[in-house]
Amino acid sequence: VQLQASGGGLVQPGGSLRLSCLASGTFFGIGVMAWYRQAPGRQRELVATITGNNVPNYTDSVKGRFIISRVSTKDMVYLQMNGLKPEDTAVYYCKFRIFLTIETAQDYWGLGTQVTVSS
């Protein structure tokens, strides 16, 4: 199983980016999908999650600006980021809870995609 994250880049403050993360390989299904980020010199932090029932949750600093969504038929999750601020600059990672069988689950991480917000 592999996760491939993409969509990062350089954007001006107030701009938008959409990140995507796609799972490939052989597995039974996907549970919670999540986005994390890690800024230089800081710990990795949880940004947003979405359950298998499409229930989203966000850290306070991105509420009202970021939207997480999933496309189950494509084993993919998106993070629409609007109103970006310099403090959103970080490497963004996706994490999926992958069910390898109906009873066995394991977390998988993508390699990360850089988001830089700067004028």
Structure confidence by residue, pLDDT tens digits, 52-90? 999 999 999 999 999 999 997 889 999 999 999 999 999
> So what's the pLDDT on residue 73?
82
The answer to whether residue 44 scores a pLDDT higher than 90 is yes
The answer to whether residue 26 scores a pLDDT higher than 90 is yes
pLDDT band of residue 6 (cuts 50, 70, 90) is: very high
The answer to whether residue 23 scores a pLDDT higher than 90 is yes
Burial annotation 23-57 (CB, 10 A radius, 16+ → b, else e): beeebeebebbbbbbeeeeeeeeebbbbeeeeeee
